[in-house]
Amino acid sequence: MQTKTLGELAQYVDGKIIGNPGIVIKSASTLERAGEGDISFLANIKYEKQMQKTKASAVIVGREYTYTAGVPLLVAEDPYYAFMQILVLLHGHRKHKKVGVSPRASICDTAKIGADCQIHNFVTIEDDAKVGNGCILYPGVYIGAGAQVGNDCIIYPNVTIYDGCRIGNRVIIQANAVIGEDGFGFATHKGIHHKIPQVGIVIIEDDVEIGSCCAIERGTLGDTVIGQGSKLSDLVAIGHGARIGPHCLLVPQVGVAGSATLGHHCVIGGQVGIIGHINVGNCVMVGAKAGVINDVPDGKVLAGVPAIDAGTAKRAYSLIEDLPEMRKSIRDFEKRLAELEKPDKS
């Protein structure tokens, strides 16, 4: 952990200071928990009133924030990004122990391991697998035959990577995720489900992060692809042959069915389901719990089951609550109309 002055931090993130630039900052914390020497941040206006009570030595805020409750401010164009930069500077990312290549790992003779790798006990690397330079494989990791892992990857405990899959550079896979299990492919004939060999693989491009307990199926014939820089959170299911474009964010418990494609920079909310064989465009946002069942053009924001335009969905779904009242009105209208339609009314 490093110590910096507020002035040094402002310079580092190209921000401005309201207050004393000489204040010493030792670490970062939340507004609620911060104490002397901590820098905090306000990225969500919901927490603004915590500014009154915080004991932080300084707070990172956006340019639209002008009021100071006595606490020194570091004003940044993108306060959350500035906070990330400062957090990396002060705390750094996780440090990994240097363990070298453990003799208690199980590494086939035909596997190739790059330089500076940390291969823990109880790791298995099968025939003809390749692991690049600077990789960290935690205990219980399994790398199947012929699988390839690029440089500088971090693979946490008990991750399984099946045979032949290809992992790019700087990929992070959180514990207990599975890459490349057989796709759910069966030909049903006379009531029996016959297993279809899943000949494709999974390709994970550079800079991807995969969450814990994700399950990413290998393709039947084509490949399943997770595009460069995309991030998957925990318990996400990706079907065989699906292609997730670059720089997407998939939050927990999302399911993308087989052969669906997503463009770049999509943001998919929690527990969303995307059915198979559809094309979701670029920069599409899907609200939590939605069910996407049709092709989606670029830039759409969707919500609901079935997913529709999010603005429409917000109004429409909030009216479900009013259905009993609406039906009551309809029944009432029926009576009143019948009354009005009586011959003697005209």
Among 4, 166, 243, 265, binds a second copy (CB under 8 A): 265
192 binds a second copy (CB under 8 A): yes
Residue with Cβ nearer a second copy (140 or 150): 140
| DSSP structural state of residue 240 | T
Q: Which residue out of 193, 194, 240, 264 is catalytically annotated? A: 240
Task: Supply the minimum distance, in Å, between the C-beta of residue 27 and a second copy.
Answer: 8
Among 42, 58, 59, 178, binds a second copy (CB under 8 A): 178
Q: Is 220 exposed, middle or buried (0-12, 13-18, 19+ CB in 10 A)?
A: buried
> What's the rounded Cα separation, in Å, for the pair 74 and 90?
16
User: Helices 6-13 and 79-91 sit at what angle, rounded to 10 degrees?
Assistant: 120
Full DSSP string of 171-183? -EE-TT-EEEEPP
Question: Which part of the chain contacts a second copy (CB under 8 A), choosing from 16-24, 59-67, 129-137, 182-190?
Answer: 182-190
63 binds a second copy (CB under 8 A): no
Question: Which part of the chain contacts a second copy (CB under 8 A), choosing from 4-12, 51-59, 111-119, 235-243?
Answer: 235-243
Q: Which of residues 73-112 bind a second copy (CB under 8 A)?
A: 78, 80-81, 83-84, 87-88, 91-94, 97, 104, 106
266 binds a second copy (CB under 8 A): no
For 222, the 3-state DSSP assignment is coil
Among 148, 255, 268, 282, binds a second copy (CB under 8 A): 255
Among 199, 206, 279, 281, binds a second copy (CB under 8 A): 199
Q: Which residues pair with 101 in a beta bridge?
A: 119
Task: Supply the minimum distance, in Å, between the C-beta of residue 48 and a second copy.
Answer: 13
Characterise 253 by phi-psi region: left (phi > 0), alpha (psi -120 to 50), beta (else).
left
Q: 293 with 275: CB under 8 angstroms?
A: yes
Among 165, 168, 217, 266, binds a second copy (CB under 8 A): 217
251 binds a second copy (CB under 8 A): yes
91 is catalytic: no
Chain mean position to CA 315: 27
Q: 299 with 282: CB under 8 angstroms?
A: yes
343 binds a second copy (CB under 8 A): no
Among 67, 70, 323, 343, binds a second copy (CB under 8 A): 323
Among 8, 48, 163, 206, binds a second copy (CB under 8 A): 163
Question: What does the CA dihedral 141, 146, 149, 151 come to, rounded to 10 degrees?
Answer: 130
| DSSP structural state of residue 101 | B
304 binds a second copy (CB under 8 A): yes
* Tokens (6 digits) for 99: 């363990």
Task: Supply the minimum distance, in Å, between the C-beta of residue 12 and a second copy.
Answer: 14
168 binds a second copy (CB under 8 A): no
# of chain residues touching a second copy (CB under 8 A): 120
CA distances from 324 to 65, 297, 327, 328 (A): 45, 35, 5, 6
Task: Supply the minimum distance, in Å, between the C-beta of residue 70 and a second copy.
Answer: 22
Q: Is 190 exposed, middle or buried (0-12, 13-18, 19+ CB in 10 A)?
A: exposed
174 binds a second copy (CB under 8 A): yes
Site string for a second copy, 131-160 (x = CB under 8 A): -------xxx-x--x----------xxx-x
Among 2, 11, 52, 121, binds a second copy (CB under 8 A): 121
Chain mean position to CA 114: 29
Q: Which residues pair with 155 in a beta bridge?
A: 137, 173
Q: 125 with 53: CB under 8 angstroms?
A: no
- Catalytically annotated residues: 240
